[in-house]
Amino acid sequence: MTSDRRLLRHRDFRHLWAAETVSQVGTQVTLLALPVVAVTVLDATPLQMGVLTALETAAFLLIGLPAGAWVDRWRRKRVLVTADLVRALVLATLPVAYLLDVLTLGQLFVVAAVTGTATVFFDVAYQSYLPTLVERDQLVDGNGKLEASRAVAQVAGPGLTGLLLRVLGAPLLIAGDAASFLLSALFLGSIRRPDTVPDRAGRRPLRAEIAEGLSFVVQHPLLRRIVACTGTSNLFGSMTSALLVLFVIRVLGLPESTLGLVFSVGAVGGLLGAATAARFARRVGEGRAIPLSAVVFAAAGVFVPLAVVGAPAVVLTAGWFVLSWAVVVYNVVQVSFRQRLCPPRLLGRMNASVRFIVFGTMPVGGLLGGVLGEWLGVVPALWVAVGGGFLACLPVLLSPLLTMGDLPDEEDGGRVRDAEPVAPGNSG
């Protein structure tokens, strides 16, 4: 029986997959609804949009490292369920405030910060939980299926949001996201595999445990280059994210419904990336797949500011399609590599260390995007972000990854191994 078929018959994985799928659809609704509320209901400025983007990810920078050590000390399933319940409760306050006509930017900022904090714990526990549920040879397929859910959500969520924005309004749509987190918590709670807690007697001071996870990341020659690429890319990508809704609605003059439709059609590329990531990695080699996909998603960023030239919906859709494919392929390959490489006892701290670095740049990028948008204008600030995206590729382009087929894993002791080139057209 193939690894893929065994995975589909794996009950606990199916429940994790269902939870992630439901949660991602709701999250995609909120990712579009929150900035639309800020721009259309609360008349936010570029700087305020930068602050909103920064608050959504500030927790990764502020508590990302200790969160990993805490997750390694706690039951991971309990962390996942608790994070879902917190996000459901906090998001539910927005439609209530809107109906009572007391919604403010201050409340939007608080909700962004609290949900971002819960997301830190959820993401660290989630990526550390998958390797405890499935076999090592199932990790790429498992991550591919989870990324497929993310891609489907990126297709369905914005399109659904665009169609319903005119009927319900963005604040009321967020109520659906709150309900999705509740459903996700139910799926996660039904996973049967025992979730053990490491022996307390083996614990060391929190600072020592954090340092061990961070050292694992920065001392591995390939992992630190991947993290440098991802973190720099997220820095400049967050500049774009902070200004994107404002750019599309105010500069390009597209309605909210068209914005949602553009993102939905473009996100089909992410679905294609999830379906082809494992095959692409086998064809070109796991090592080469990382820098190649990084260059593609950097190039796709050009399409955003180019949309001012003409046919904005078409240009944005094409760019979003290519970018989504490349980002998903990059994530599937590099996340699977990290999970195979890291000893199980370090998974939480390793994932937290990676997220501290790669997501810790996002609040900085969001604020920078808002400041540059106020100072230079929205379109020039987007071009600055495009240039930074190309610079982000250098750590993986100027590395052994371009000459590697297979990537090392824990059983190799994490040693970097050169691989014979993969012949074009071969797959396996």
Give the angle 366-127-322 at the CA atoms, nearest 5°. Answer: 55
Which of the residue ranges 32-36, 206-210, 388-392 would you say has the lowest mean pLDDT?
206-210
Question: Residue 195: inside a domain, yes or no?
Answer: no
With bands split at pLDDT 50, 70 and 90, how would you rate the model's confidence at 411? Answer: very low
Residue 424 has pLDDT above 50, yes or no: no
At residue 208, the 3 state secondary structure works out as helix
Report pLDDT for 413.
47
Q: Which residues of 374-396 are buried (b: 16+ CB within 10 A; e: fewer)?
A: beeebbebbbbbbebbbebbebb
Residue 426 has pLDDT above 50, yes or no: no
Question: Residue 383: inside a domain, yes or no?
Answer: yes
More confident residue, 413 or 173: 173
Question: Residue 419: inside a domain, yes or no?
Answer: no
Report pLDDT for 268.
78
Question: Residue 198: inside a domain, yes or no?
Answer: no
- Classify residue 93 by burial, with Cβ atoms within 10 Å: 0-12, 13-18, 19+: middle
Report pLDDT for 282.
86
Residue 419 has pLDDT above 50, yes or no: no
Report pLDDT for 204.
65
- Ramachandran region, residue 311 (left: φ > 0; alpha: ψ -120 to 50; beta: rest): left
With bands split at pLDDT 50, 70 and 90, how would you rate the model's confidence at 277? Answer: confident
At residue 303, what are phi and psi to the nearest 5 degrees? -65, -25
Residue 414 has pLDDT above 60, yes or no: no
With bands split at pLDDT 50, 70 and 90, how would you rate the model's confidence at 89? Answer: very high
Picking from 32, 58, 107, 103, the residue whose alpha carbon sits closest to that of residue 259 is 32
Sign of the four-CA dihedral 68, 74, 75, 79: negative
Domain count along the chain: 1
Take residue 22 and report the two structure tokens written for it. Answer: 């439901």
Select, from the ranges 71-80, 263-272, 360-369, the one with the highest average predicted confidence (pLDDT): 360-369
**pLDDT tens string 321-337:** 899 889 889 988 888 88
Select, from the ranges 4-13, 179-188, 192-201, 345-354, the one with the highest average predicted confidence (pLDDT): 179-188
Report pLDDT for 427.
28
Could you tell me the CATH number of the domain that includes residue 155?
1.20.1250.20
Picking from 303, 302, 326, the residue whose alpha carbon sits closest to that of residue 390 is 302
Structural domain containing residue 37: 3-190+206-412
Question: Residue 426: inside a domain, yes or no?
Answer: no
Select, from the ranges 54-58, 161-165, 314-318, 383-387, the one with the highest average predicted confidence (pLDDT): 383-387
Residue 294 has pLDDT above 80, yes or no: yes
More confident residue, 189 or 113: 113
Measured distance CA(253)–CA(118) in Å, rounded:
34
Report pLDDT for 195.
67
* 300 in Cβ contact with 308 (< 8 Å): no
Report pLDDT for 425.
32
Question: Residue 302: inside a domain, yes or no?
Answer: yes
C-beta neighbour count of 253 within 10 angstroms: 9
Segment 336-345 shows an average pLDDT of: 78
Report pLDDT for 385.
95
pLDDT over 90 for what percent of the chain?
23
